[in-house]
Amino acid sequence: MSRRVHIREVGPRDGFQNEPERIATDDKIRLIEALARAGFERIEVASFVRPDVIPQLADGVEVLNRIDVPERVKLMVLIPNSRGLDNALKVRERFHEAAIFVSASETHNKKNVNRTVAETMADNAVMAKRIRAEGLDCAAVVATSFGCPYEGKVALGRVLDLAERFAEAGATEIGFGDTTGMCNPAYAREFFAAALERLPGVEVTAHFHNTRGQGLANAYAALEAGCTSFESSFGELGGCPVPKGSTGNIATEDLVSMFHEMGVETGLDLPAVIEAAREAQRVLGRTLTSHSLIAGPIEWHLNDERIHA
């Protein structure tokens, strides 16, 4: 296994979009800047979707214009279609990476973006070319890579065929999303071994949700298969707007804690990540579900007499 991994924090986009109420722009900015201070070099901060579809992200342009993060931090935005890309490019100087996406499941893609997979991929090919022409990094995401709640298991070959098409269009990173938490560790190991073999020269990224409590186990299995790029969300925020019942991404602080205890470097300050999640908890006014928010890092307990009494 690799002794070093890269983690992109996706809470400010994937997490906030799933909240029932809009988060104040000032709070979003403060939380993103706290994440940057925790050591993240990649943060997904906005999505150029229609504000009537996801009003929680309607202030994306303002967030991009106002956040103040170190130069080392690469900011990513999610682009649903060419119209969204038109809007994003109006503030092109404020971000570094643009992500395009498709669902491997035909039914999920239709429910998510109201298009067939073929229609989505045709638009993605056009967008990838435009993104690269702007000098931006182009990433791609294949949602429902590990299963669809409407169609069941999605064939590995179908997922990797879509990934290859993204790579041919110019995507230098391809993320595989366990959108509704249907993956298991055995399949995660098989999947990422196949993906890494099929996509030489492409950064292969694991994006697991913890809907059924297997998120960290899946991340460990992906690491065993050779994956070194992960996405997660502080506080275990997030989910998927469709279908209902899909809970959050794996908690960043839990993922970092696991990696650090295994001797795998992340470049992140775990206590600072936990504090950012605690601040998100205060902003949202509800208890978040990550384990590290409750327990803290292991080293906090080593000399705690209450633990050893």
Reported as a single tens digit per residue, the pLDDT across 36-90 is 999 999 999 999 999 998 999 999 999 999 999 999 999 999 999 999 999 999 9
Nearest one of 142, 217, 212, 153 to 177, comparing CA atoms: 142
Mean of the per-residue pLDDT values of the chain: 94
pTM comes to 0.95
Is 227 among the residues known to form the active site?
no
Q: Which domains does the chain have, with CATH numbers?
A: 6-308 (3.20.20.70)
Amino acid identity for residue 98 in this structure: A
Angle at 185 between CA 180 and CA 190, to 5 degrees: 105
% of the chain residues with pLDDT over 70: 95
Q: Please give the Cα distance from 179 to 210 (Å, whole number).
A: 10
Q: Please give the Cα distance from 78 to 160 (Å, whole number).
A: 21
Q: Which one of 138, 183, 227, 240 is the catalytic residue?
A: 240
Compute the Cα dihedral for 159, 162, 167, 170 and give only its sign: negative
Q: Above 80 in pLDDT, residue 306?
A: no
In tens, the pLDDT along 198-232 reads: 999 999 999 999 999 999 999 999 999 999 999 99
In degrees and rounded to multiples of 5, residue 207 shows phi and psi of -130, 95
